[in-house]
Amino acid sequence: MNAISEKDFMPVEKLRAMQLEKLQKLIPYEYERVALFRRRCDEKGVKPRDLVTLKDLAKFPFMKKTDLRDEYPLGLTAAPMSEINRFHCSSGTTGKPICIPQTAGDVAVWTEGVCRCMAMYGITKDDVVQVSYGYGLFTGGLGAHYGAEALGCAVLPTGAGNTEKQIMLMKDLGVTAICCTPSYFLHLATVAERMGIDFRRDTKLRHGVFGAEPWTDEIREKIEALSGITAHDIYGLTEIAGPGVAGNCPYCHGLHIWEDHFYPEIIDPDTLEVLPDGEEGELVFTTLDRMGTPMVRYRTRDLSRLQTGQCQCGRTMRVMDRVHARSDDMLIIHGVNVFPSQIEACLMKVPEVAPHYMIELSSTETMDRFEIKVEVTADTMSDSMSAMEAVRKRVAASIKEIVGLSPKISLVAPGSLPRSEGKIKRVIDNRRK
């Protein structure tokens, strides 16, 4: 065990005492500085001093993604701008993004989370780490970058895209670990094969740190068989930190949560009651150390379970099941959070198309395919091909602007998409599960 991992093995009693102590500081801090939280506490008749034991956290109100949207940009920011060190943004449920300002301390906690994950995977300062997550407002790239740098690794910040160059650098610089989405790695593998490069023979790659989108054991097995690397799982979300909230150890069938920084609860998404460990429900996190944008009982909408019993590795940090479903309609496409309501908002901006649409997702050998079918109307219809193509381009541009992705836009005949009386099905997800 190295110094970085020491905290992972903290005695449970000490961990619980630490969590309570941190919560008893966080709740008054949030109450004092964030109007929305104060108002909701007052409505519920709960005061910060009511937090006496960890169980009392259940008395406090939840925060949701829509709160982040409604309070955009800075309504949930607790620290003054002079203390803010970094902004990250993620997609909201409609056009407006969510914005998470962080202090230097917040970035340090997040960095520590990534660093502890990497140490747990067996990555050391001797490794050469390629970060192929997108850099920028998205937390993937910078999160992995800071974590690997803190561990002392040699970091190659390639970012996303330009795949052939990535493979050349991986080979030439002796990259031993790569951080990216599992679907991007599968794409890399296909391009490498086309270039005549065999990961086993031609590269030193041993570790893959995969996250930002749901993936399965089947994909893990495929990646490992294809490339000879060990595929590690990293979990996180911008609202709470970024990647590095949890990761898997060599023993557990799930992910250890860094509970000394991120306090997990599982709730029933319908009754909102807290469920005991071992039961499946919606994952809720409270940030124990965050000063910039603290989150109290943030509903992730990710469905998971907190496992009971001690992991073989000896870590005391509880293990969550890998997230395999959500309690809302959010889709994760190429690592980007997409809500059908966003697509709808984009289409509304192009008056020539009907409000009828269908999102179709499927998997090719290596990548997710993202297609949006839009119905043509008498208004869209033209005798000119270029006029029709222009409509399609306007739809594509509107989606690119708001969602940040470039799906294939297909024009389809009027009335050809399914209608229904009740809740209309807008998404067909045929991706590998």
Question: Binder to other proteins among 1, 3, 81, 413 (CB under 8 A)?
Answer: 413
| CB nearer other proteins, residue 272 or residue 412 | 412
The contacts of residue 422 (CB under 8 Å, 6+ apart) are none
H/E run at residue 358: strand 357-363
Using CB under 8 A, which residues numbered 291 to 330 contact other proteins?
Answer: none
Write down the least CB distance from residue 336 to other proteins, Å.
24
Query: Residue 48's Cα: distance from chain center in Å?
Result: 30
Write down the least CB distance from residue 390 to other proteins, Å.
12
Give the residue carrying structure tokens 């000896």.
Answer: 314
Binding mask 341-380 for other proteins (x = CB under 8 A): -----------------------------------xxx-x
Structure tokens at 248: 């898997």
Angle among Cα 196, 183, 278 to the nearest 5 degrees reads 140
| CB nearer other proteins, residue 277 or residue 371 | 371
| CB nearer other proteins, residue 308 or residue 410 | 410
419 binds other proteins (CB under 8 A): no
Write down the least CB distance from residue 385 to other proteins, Å.
5
Burial of 82 from C-beta contacts in 10 A (0-12 / 13-18 / 19+)? exposed
Write down the least CB distance from residue 388 to other proteins, Å.
7
The strand pair at 128-131 and 154-156 is best described as parallel
Question: Binder to other proteins among 152, 174, 314, 414 (CB under 8 A)?
Answer: 414
Binding mask 373-412 for other proteins (x = CB under 8 A): ---xxx-xxxxxx--xx--------------------xxx
**Residue 107: how many CA atoms within 13 Å on its side-chain side?**
16
Instruction: Give the C-alpha separation, 273 to 414, whole Å.
Output: 45
Write down the least CB distance from residue 316 to other proteins, Å.
55
| CB nearer other proteins, residue 156 or residue 409 | 409
Write down the least CB distance from residue 236 to other proteins, Å.
38
Residues 363, 430: contact at Cβ < 8 Å? yes
Write down the least CB distance from residue 351 to other proteins, Å.
15
| CB nearer other proteins, residue 59 or residue 369 | 369
| CB nearer other proteins, residue 313 or residue 397 | 397
Instruction: Give the C-alpha separation, 87 to 38, whole Å.
Output: 24
Question: Binder to other proteins among 278, 314, 355, 415 (CB under 8 A)?
Answer: 415
CB atoms < 10 A from the CB of 333, how many?
19
Give the residue carrying structure tokens 């190295």.
Answer: 2
Q: How many residues does the chain have?
A: 433
**Residue 334: how many CA atoms within 13 Å on its side-chain side?**
17
| CB nearer other proteins, residue 230 or residue 377 | 377
Write down the least CB distance from residue 290 to other proteins, Å.
47
Residues 211, 235: contact at Cβ < 8 Å? yes
| CB nearer other proteins, residue 275 or residue 411 | 411
CA 89, 341, 300, 141 torsion-angle sign: negative
Size, binding site for other proteins by CB under 8 A: 18
Residues 105, 86: contact at Cβ < 8 Å? no
Cα dihedral 246/248/251/253 (nearest 10): 90
| CB nearer other proteins, residue 355 or residue 414 | 414
| CB nearer other proteins, residue 21 or residue 389 | 389
Residues 213, 206: contact at Cβ < 8 Å? no
Structure tokens at 46: 């709960």
Write down the least CB distance from residue 383 to other proteins, Å.
4
Beta partners for 89? Answer: 99
Write down the least CB distance from residue 406 to other proteins, Å.
15
Binding mask 61-80 for other proteins (x = CB under 8 A): --------------------
Question: Which residue ranges make up the site for other proteins (CB under 8 A)?
Answer: 376-378, 380-385, 388-389, 410-416
